[in-house]
Amino acid sequence: MAKSKLEYIWLDGYKPTQSLRSKTKIENNFSGKLEDCDMWSFDGSSTEQAPGGSSDCLLKPVYICADPARRDAYLVMCEVLNADGTPHESNGRATIEDDDNDFWFGFEQEYFLWNLETDKPLGFPANGYPAPQGPYYCSVGAKNAYGRDIVEEHLDICLDAGLNVEGINAEVAAGQWEFQIFAKGAKEAGDQIWVARYLLERLGEKYNVAINWHCKPLGATDWNGSGMHANFSNTVLRTCGSKETYEVICESFRPYVAEHIAVYGADNHLRLTGKHETQSIDQFSFGVSDRGASIRIPIAAVEKGWKGWLEDRRPNSAADPYKVAARIIKTVKTANV
């Protein structure tokens, strides 16, 4: 009898930033298909999701892929439901209104590899700072690129799992990296980002290196923060061929600055200062090829005759991609196009 390990993964109820949780279920003669993953439960009183006197929460499998780091294993991303089967208040995935997958998302996930002994990023000396930013972005060489062995192993694991990673690169600060994931459908894009985050966290255990998702882990210094830029499109953006339509959609975001910032990650005021390739947190702007704007219109979309996508540069590295996508979709649907 063949036995498989199914790692059920979910988001807890911690505020303002949720954490990943998981546990292993052993199945006999498992098919590898999502529809054959059973509902499961967990103790919500231990994850800030239920009181102790009524602690059962349900795990609804929504995405499955291979787990290359374990034998005969799968990763199962789950939504959290209340005991009555309704979505738990912590369940951002359930708020996405994209049943026909008209919206496509590509997330650029930045993060720092964090030295647990020095409590600083890899590449930072125990006391003080390395040379100022400049040589680290897309760098190569032991003087500038730190933690490449972890990053490369993570990339291979993600690709072996079947995740649609479209690229990686060293970022602007020392010890800072990025991966990009794209999916035709907001829910799947969120699923894949969370699974990739899970795999990176687990890989960090092997190297005794933490993954720091905070948007400004180095505080009020002249080092870049970390974002999770959200590239998005729908049929209109992909096919309209109209500058005016693009501008109407961009303008539809202006009345909802507060609503977007509310789900774009905790402590974003530390990152969205108007410096380091950001717009100020209380301002809204858009522009072609403008990395200091709230929303960047990619030059590639313009060159294709105003057919393509937009990039919201405000979501930070710790934001929930489900909630980010849900809010973007809701706003775009208000545009009169």
The two tokens of residue 101 are 């997958």
So what's the pLDDT on residue 274? 85
* All structural domains of the chain with their residue ranges: 3-91, 104-332
- Report, in this order, helix, strand and coil percent for the chain, each rounded to 5: 25, 30, 45
Q: Which of 270, 230, 269, 226 is nearest to 253 (CA)?
A: 230
CA separation for the pair 94, 86 (Å, rounded): 10
Tens digit of each residue's pLDDT, the chain (337 residues): 799 999 999 999 999 999 999 999 999 999 999 999 999 999 999 999 999 888 999 999 999 999 999 999 999 999 999 999 999 999 999 999 998 999 999 999 999 999 999 999 999 999 989 999 999 999 999 999 999 999 999 999 999 999 999 999 999 999 999 999 999 999 999 999 999 999 999 999 999 999 999 999 998 888 999 999 999 999 999 999 999 999 999 999 999 999 999 999 999 999 998 887 789 999 999 999 998 999 999 999 999 999 999 999 999 999 999 999 999 999 999 999 8
Name the strand (E) or helix (H) holding 205: helix 186-207
CA separation for the pair 108, 180 (Å, rounded): 4
So what's the pLDDT on residue 164? 98
The two tokens of residue 317 are 């590295």
So what's the pLDDT on residue 278? 86
So what's the pLDDT on residue 219? 86
Task: Specify the 3-state DSSP secondary structure of 204.
Answer: helix
So what's the pLDDT on residue 220? 80
Superfamily of structural domain 104-332:
Glutamine synthetase/guanido kinase, catalytic domain (3.30.590.10)
CA separation for the pair 215, 225 (Å, rounded): 5
The two tokens of residue 264 are 């774009």
So what's the pLDDT on residue 25? 98
Fold of 3-91: Ubiquitin-like (UB roll) (3.10.20)
